[in-house]
Amino acid sequence: MSEHLKGNFSHSLPRECPNPLDLEIKSLSISNLDAIVQLDINCFAGLWSEDGYKRELESPNSEFHGFLSPLNPSQLLGMGCFWSILDEAHITILAVDPQYHSQGLGQALLYSLLNRAWECGLERATLEVRASNHLAISLYQKFGFKIAGTRPKYYKDNQEDALILWLGKIQYPQFQEMIANKLVAVRDRLSKSGWHLIQ
């Protein structure tokens, strides 16, 4: 373990470290369930139940990716998931621990999910997002998602509309070019925040 990984840095930001910290996007398994539930609490104050995440992890149709903290491997910094339904990737979760926002982790996760969708031969990706979630919408639009419609009063807690976002042509050469460029941009964004993306 390198010197800067020693000690209690569980909440320090990597940009304070003299050397970049390795960050690896992993496919999550049932062994990560506790960390997933804790991240859900941190991000959404308990949106999904433990059973819900367990089903997600065990489903053969779901791809569940995440970053474990290099400082504390039982802590998850971010997670993203999609379901393969026919030839579509339905993104169900994208979340980064609020203490690690705006460092490039969200775009790295989205890159990872979309790259996996391409590897799986899927043609399109879609998701629903709160109409007021401008930050997330901006992130998705940077990857080429377009607003395809609205589900009025979709969110029961505050009757908020959901925007339906779509990204098509995943198997086209233009997508492969875009996603390769995104990887370069993601690495660059992460490195500015003191992370080194390893794959």
Ligand X SMILES: CC(C)(COP(=O)(O)OP(=O)(O)OC[C@H]1O[C@@H](n2cnc3c(N)ncnc32)[C@H](O)[C@@H]1OP(=O)(O)O)[C@@H](O)C(=O)NCCC(=O)NCCS
Sites of contact with ligand X (CB under 6 A): 43, 94-96, 101-107, 127, 129, 133, 135-136, 138-139, 189
Closer residue to ligand X (CB): 101 or 151: 101
Closer residue to ligand X (CB): 6 or 156: 156
Residue 111 falls in the annotated catalytic set: no
Are the C-beta atoms of 62 and 93 separated by less than 8 Å? no
Annotated catalytic residue, options 56, 63, 88, 128: 128
Are the C-beta atoms of 80 and 111 separated by less than 8 Å? no
Closest residue by beta carbon to ligand X: 106
Minimal distance, residue 44 CB to ligand X, in Å: 7
Residue 128 falls in the annotated catalytic set: yes
Closer residue to ligand X (CB): 84 or 103: 103
Q: What is the DSSP string of 60-119?
A: TTEEEEEEE-SS-TT-EEEEEEEEEETTEEEEEEEEE-GGGTTSSHHHHHHHHHHHHHHH
